[in-house]
Amino acid sequence: WRRTTDALLDIYAQATSAFRNALDLRAEVAV
């Protein structure tokens, strides 16, 4: 159970960082 939770947290962290990178790219393009 703990390994599954850690894996989900890792995936969530990667998705969040990718989402932030996408927002940063959109911000740069908008400017």
Convert the pLDDT of each residue in 18-28 to its tens digit: 999 999 999 88
Average pLDDT over residues 13-22: 97
pTM of the model: 0.64
Q: How much is the pLDDT for 31?
A: 74
Cα separation, 16 vs 30, in Å, equals 21
Q: Residue 3 corresponds to which tokens in the numbers above?
A: 């390994």
Residue 16 has pLDDT above 80, yes or no: yes
Dihedrals φ, ψ of 12, to 5°?
-65, -40
